[in-house]
Structure 1
Amino acid sequence: MRKNGAMRTGLAAMVCGAVAVTLTACGGVEGGSGSGAKGRAGAPGAVARTSAPAVDPTRIPDVGDRLQRRIPSDSGQVLAVYGEGKDSAESTAVLYTKSGTAWERTRSWAAHNGTKGWTTDHHEDDKRSPVGVFTLSDAGGVLDDPGARLPYTQSETYQAPHDWPESYWHDFDYVIAIDYNRVEGDPPDDPTRPWGDDKGGGIWLHMDHGSGTSACVSLPKEGMEYLLRTLDPEEHPVVVMGDKADLNA
């Protein structure tokens, strides 16, 4: 049940998913050592020393200005989903926690997103996950509340249909609603779509079945349990998600 005891019926048939991508690395080319021209920058035959650009700790890594500006100033938790490519279902989900003004990488998990990749103009049944910044405000699932900080609605109605492949049956044991085309504060399975049905909906973080989703982001069970116990409404958590090119745009 929801923490206030309320029960809601579900539309658990709306499935989704998540992806993997390499994060920013630092490094440089070392020059020669010892005396003489070879060790002096600019001298004939010298090996120039280089360094990677400084990483700004006040920004979420590998996220460009367009999406960076959409992260609320009062948010203290950001789940970044880095998609491997525009048409890829592989991704990596990384939780960042703010300490003072700096973002610290807390945990990461391999993930999946839509089977056809990502889109900046999501529509129902396009099999692509929407690119953007979305709040995370409600949770639920088939299983009992594992100690979630977000409001949690437990119900058997989240059960995935058993005419789906067996590997999908536990997809909705735990879910966290991604606030895309939904009403914040309602259980994840609430069918209300403020932007209309054509824009899709029912996009969740949910349990992973080993491949792409309809449009959601999926994580391993331990990842979902960790997020449910960690994401705190008082920290105004959001998800920043997309393929690496769109994230950096």
Structure 2
Amino acid sequence: MSVAEPAGDTSHTTIAGDRAPGEQPDELPGLGARTRAEIPDDTQQALVVTGSDRNAWKSKAVLYERTATGWQAKASWPARNALHGWTADHTAGDLRSPIGVFTLSDAGGRLADPGSTLPYSQSPDFRIGGTGFLGEPLAGSFDYVIAIDYNRKRGTSPLDPTKPLGEAKGGGIWIHVDHGGPTHGCISLSRPHMKQLLRLLTPARHPVIVMGDAASLAT
């Protein structure tokens, strides 16, 4: 599969997503009944990461907050996902990001806490070297990370290797700093947007990530 997908613009932040200012839909845009049913009733923050195609590695992330009158988009950012796109049955090494709704409980990174209200574990063990699929350097990708609660133990550092579903189902799926190319399974955002997201997510709002290609999320 070719990875020569055109590079996206990761330099901007859009407030209120694609909707008119002040417009607050009752339901999260782009999500079908089955996907919405997976979102916990107490969730008040949802990061919706949508890929245009099942096999694409470029996506869009929109952070929504639930208000008394509906869901309001707070920020919209370009994102990247796994090299081969998305899957509803993720396995170790498939180079696809898992589709689904997952809680966001823990954060960390090689650098000091930038102001996260999620529990933040700073450690030099958040290190990575070498190059990515496009030959881009990977150094710094784990300066800031948010663990996606797929096949992991909540309430621990993102570095915790525990995989309740077993090794075959993969793990270590994070939101991390973008390195300019597709990932192995994670979601990546530019460094400024990662810091912004860490400051916006609030445990008391029970944040989740809703992730997948547009067609899958619409079911």
TM-score normalised to structure 2 length: 0.87
Partners of 2:131 and 2:137 within 8 A in 1: no
1:128-181 CA-partner distances (Å, limit 9, x unpaired): 000000000000000000010000000110011357666210110000000000
Aligned pair 1:124/2:105, yes or no?
no
Q: Secondary structure at the match of 2:60?
A: strand
Aligned partners of 2:72 and 2:117: how far apart in 1?
20
Aligned pair 1:152/2:120, yes or no?
yes
Aligned pair 1:247/2:217, yes or no?
yes
Report % sequence identity.
49
Q: Secondary structure at the match of 1:79?
A: strand
Letter in 2 for 1:202: G
Aligned pair 1:140/2:136, yes or no?
no
1:180-234 CA-partner distances (Å, limit 9, x unpaired): 0000001001000000000000000000011110000000111110111110100
Partners of 2:24 and 2:69 within 8 A in 1: no
User: 1:205: which partner in 2?
Assistant: 175
Aligned counterpart in structure 1 of residue 45 of structure 2, from 63, 73, 77: 77
Given the superposition, is the C-alpha separation of residues 93 and 163 from structure 1 closer, same or farther in structure 2, using an over 3 Å criterion?
closer
Aligned partners of 1:120 and 1:127: how far apart in 2?
13
Q: How many residues align?
A: 201
Aligned partners of 1:182 and 1:125: how far apart in 2?
16
Partners of 1:132 and 1:240 within 8 A in 2: yes
Aligned pair 1:62/2:30, yes or no?
yes
Which structure has the larger Rg over C-alpha atoms? 1
Aligned partners of 1:103 and 1:70: how far apart in 2?
16
* Structure 1 alignment gaps of length 5 or more: 1-18, 27-54
Aligned partners of 2:109 and 2:217: how far apart in 1?
29
Partners of 1:116 and 1:128 within 8 A in 2: yes
Q: Secondary structure at the match of 1:125?
A: coil
Aligned counterpart in structure 1 of residue 204 of structure 2, from 230, 234, 237: 234
Q: Secondary structure at the match of 1:73?
A: coil
Aligned partners of 1:140 and 1:115: how far apart in 2?
24
Aligned pair 1:195/2:195, yes or no?
no
TM-score normalised to structure 1 length: 0.77
Given the superposition, is the C-alpha separation of residues 56 and 66 from structure 1 closer, same or farther in structure 2, using an over 3 Å criterion?
farther
* Structure 2 alignment gaps of length 5 or more: 1-7, 10-16
User: 2:12: which partner in 1?
Assistant: none
Aligned counterpart in structure 2 of residue 223 of structure 1, from 158, 182, 193: 193
Given the superposition, is the C-alpha separation of residues 117 and 207 from structure 1 closer, same or farther in structure 2, using an over 3 Å criterion?
same
Aligned pair 1:107/2:75, yes or no?
yes
